[in-house]
Amino acid sequence: MSGFTVRPVPVEVPGLTHLHTGKVRDLYATASGDLVMVASDRVSAYDWVLPTEIPDKGRLLTALSLWWFDRLADIAPAHVLSDTPPPGAPEDWRGRTLVCRRLDMVPVECVARGYLAGSGLAEYQADGTVCGVALPDGLQDGSRLEEPIFTPATKAEVGEHDENVSFERVAAVHGAALAEELRTATLALYRRGRELAEERGILLADTKFEFGRDADGTLVLADEVFTPDSSRFWPADGWEPGRPQPSFDKQVLRDWLTSPASGWDRASEEPPPPLPQDVVDRTRDRYLEVYERLTGSPAPVG
């Protein structure tokens, strides 16, 4: 079992139509057909959206996405129109709302990997490839890949795992031209992000992009970008291939959830328990630190 421990209730805002409640974001449509994405403070671990929120997380990730969109615009235009919440929105939406062009989304999770971890590691250990890309022998948990690789996945519902697929599969379903376009954009964006993050002592092990088409057919970068929710961030000074790397943002809560203190059995069907205040505080500090290290600016939170 997995999914939401507490089902989020959409907010009623005059003029907005609720479209979707994701693990983290709530989506609405404006009367003119634009998309309103509101990043909540929800946090997930082990396929569960936890019952406790991390205050300001949605604001930090929204600000971080905006910072990155600016630095990637020459590679792919972003879907953002404005960061001003629509009239009548709750005060709490300020800083966590992006009004975006509503795109025809490409139903492929465009993953780039520069290090071996997660499902990439599992596939490599099983047969030496990731999404059909053959890798050299002898790589370990956390190894850096000589060249970043494009490892697409199909999108799953809340609580389900995305499924890794080969480039050929994407080409067969969506056409070779689009598959090429996705791979080229994904790898170019990832290279830019990895380089920038590395200068700031953060390894961007892997990341996921989502793209959509606008009315003219242009491929546009959608969703969020290079946030800890869409990426694996590792502190560079703690990197040591051959064991799982500590994660910048979620290590504190993962460690607590799997410790005897939580009383939770990950293998059980039971939802995880609420987080204690010190775990919340320390997790929030990690999100603040990621933001401040990457951008070099104080986090935009009260």
Q: Are strands 3-4 and 48-49 parallel, antiparallel or unpaired?
A: parallel
Q: Write the interaction track for ligand ATP spanning residues 211-230; mark x where CB under 6 A is met and - where it is not.
A: -x---------xx-------
E-only strand ranges, the chain: 3-4, 17-21, 25-29, 35-39, 44-45, 48-49, 80-82, 97-100, 104-105, 110-115, 129-130, 133-134, 144-150, 153-154, 163-164, 202-213, 219-222, 231-235
Which residue of 13, 27, 63, 294 would you call a contact of ligand ATP, by CB under 6 A? 27
State which residue, 109 or 123, has the beta carbon closest to ligand ATP. Answer: 109
Residue 178 found at the interface with ligand ATP (CB under 6 A): no
Which helix (H) or strand (E) is 229 found in, with range?
A: none
Burial class (CB within 10 angstroms; exposed 0-12, middle 13-18, buried 19+) of 76: buried
- The separation between CA 184 and the C-alpha centre of its own chain, rounded to angstroms, equals 19
Among 246, 202, 268, 280, which Cα is nearest to 42's? 280
Which member of 16, 25, 120, 209 binds ligand ATP (CB under 6 A)? Answer: 25
35 lies in the site for ligand ATP, by CB under 6 A:
yes
Taking the least distance from each CB to ligand ATP, the nearer of 79 and 286 is: 79
- Indicate the SS3 state at residue 147: strand
25/113 with CB nearer ligand ATP? 25
Closest by Cα among 277, 229, 287 to 256: 277
- Measured from the CB atom, is 118 or 241 closer to ligand ATP? 118
Interaction residues for ligand ATP, span 73-102 (CB under 6 A): 79, 100-102
Burial class (CB in 10 A: 0-12, 13-18, 19+), 171: middle
Near ligand ATP by CB under 6 A: residue from 24, 89, 139, 182: 24
**Is position 29 an interface residue for ligand ATP (rule: CB under 6 A)?**
no
Stretch that binds ligand ATP, among 17-25, 65-73, 126-134, 294-302 (CB under 6 A): 17-25
CA-based nearest residue to 17, from 35, 3, 4: 35
Nearest residue to ligand ATP, using CB? 22
Q: Is residue 249 close enough to count as binding ligand ATP by CB under 6 A?
A: no
Which CB sits closer to ligand ATP, 157 or 269? Answer: 157
**Residue 83 CB, nearest distance to ligand ATP (Å)?**
14
- The reply on whether position 153 binds ligand ATP by CB under 6 A is no
How far lies 16's CA from each of 6, 27, 34, 36, 227, in Å?
23, 10, 10, 8, 26
Using CB under 6 A, which residues numbered 99 to 138 contact ligand ATP? 100-103, 105
41 binds ligand ATP (CB under 6 A): no
DSSP 302: -
Give the range of 21-29, 59-67, 177-185, 285-293 binding ligand ATP by CB under 6 A: 21-29
Choose, by CB under 6 A, the member of 15, 22, 51, 241 that binds ligand ATP.
22
Q: Which is nearer to ligand ATP, 13 or 61 (CB)?
A: 61
Q: Distance (Å, rounded) from C-alpha 294 to C-alpha 6?
A: 32
Find the DSSP H helices in the chain: 57-72, 118-127, 167-174, 176-198, 251-258, 277-295
Please give the residue ranges that form the binding site for ligand ATP (CB under 6 A). Answer: 22-25, 27, 35, 79, 100-103, 105, 158, 210, 212, 222-223
